[in-house]
Amino acid sequence: MKFAAAVLCVMVGTTTLPSPSSAQDAAAGERLFRSRCAACHSVQSGQNRVGPHLAGIVGRQAGAVEGARYSPALRNLGTSWDSEALDRFLANPRAAVQGTTMNVGVPNAGDRADIVAYLRTLQALQN
Ligand code: HEC
């Protein structure tokens, strides 16, 4: 009986874990972005700060913004950013891309999902 109760607790615990995809909220992501990312990243094409601009980042080639200061690690990564790659990078940038100079991570999975939902709304402007 005790054993069954313990199993039930484990199962209930598992099903109540927050699911990153259902917690996506671009508006919350924009607020998080302003406080945690905007000091180093503009969302306007052509405006690089300490980090590259992030207009059109979803689907963009990694390390590819003209005039941005990239580490060799990111410049030579050779992949493009999709939601999953961004989630992995933001969870722990230096673990995802060894040698990257970006060291600001977002440990909370819900916050990451919100930020990625916001990043998906950023379109690259023609210029
Ligand atoms: C202290 C400055 C700083 C902060 C804060 C910062 N970044 Fe960065 N970010 C950088 C730098 C510098 C790079 C380039 C890293 C490299 O070349 O290794 C970068 C690279 C990136 C890239 C890859 C861009 C590309 O063109 O491949 C993404 C995506 C990114 N940052 C997202 C974020 C997000 C989202 C946040 C907020 C949670 C954030 N960054 C916070 C400095 C920062």
Give me the percent of the chain exceeding a pLDDT of 90. Answer: 76
Quick check: CB of 77 below 6 Å from ligand 1? no
Quick check: CB of 104 below 6 Å from ligand 1? yes
Query: Residue 69's CB: how many other CB atoms inside 10 A?
Result: 12
Within-domain flag for 93: yes
Q: Which atom in ligand 1 lies closest to the alpha carbon of residue 100?
A: 18
Give, using CA atoms, the residue closest to atom 2 of ligand 1.
40
**With bands split at pLDDT 50, 70 and 90, how would you rate the model's confidence at 2?**
low
Within-domain flag for 68: yes
Task: Give this prediction's pTM.
Answer: 0.85
Quick check: CB of 36 below 6 Å from ligand 1? yes
Give, using CA atoms, the residue closest to atom 11 of ligand 1.
51
Answer whether 82's CB lies under 8 Å from 73's CB.
Answer: no
What average pLDDT does this structure show over 100-126? 92
Within-domain flag for 100: yes
Within-domain flag for 63: yes
Within-domain flag for 127: no
Q: In which domain, by residue range, is 45 found? A: 24-120
CA gap 28, 118 in Å, rounded: 8
Instruction: Identify which of 30, 31, 40, 76 to mutate to test ligand 1's pocket (most ligand atoms within 8 A of the CB).
Output: 40
Q: Say what the pLDDT of residue 23 is.
A: 47
Q: Say what the pLDDT of residue 9 is.
A: 46
Alpha carbon of 61 to those of 1, 14, 91, 117, 124: distances in Å?
Answer: 56, 36, 19, 18, 12
Per the structure, the count of domains in the chain is 1
Note the pLDDT tens digit of each residue in 46-104.
999 999 999 999 999 999 999 999 999 999 999 999 999 999 999 999 999 999 999 99
Q: Which residues contact 116 (CB under 8 A, 6 or more apart)?
A: 24, 29, 58, 83, 86, 87, 90
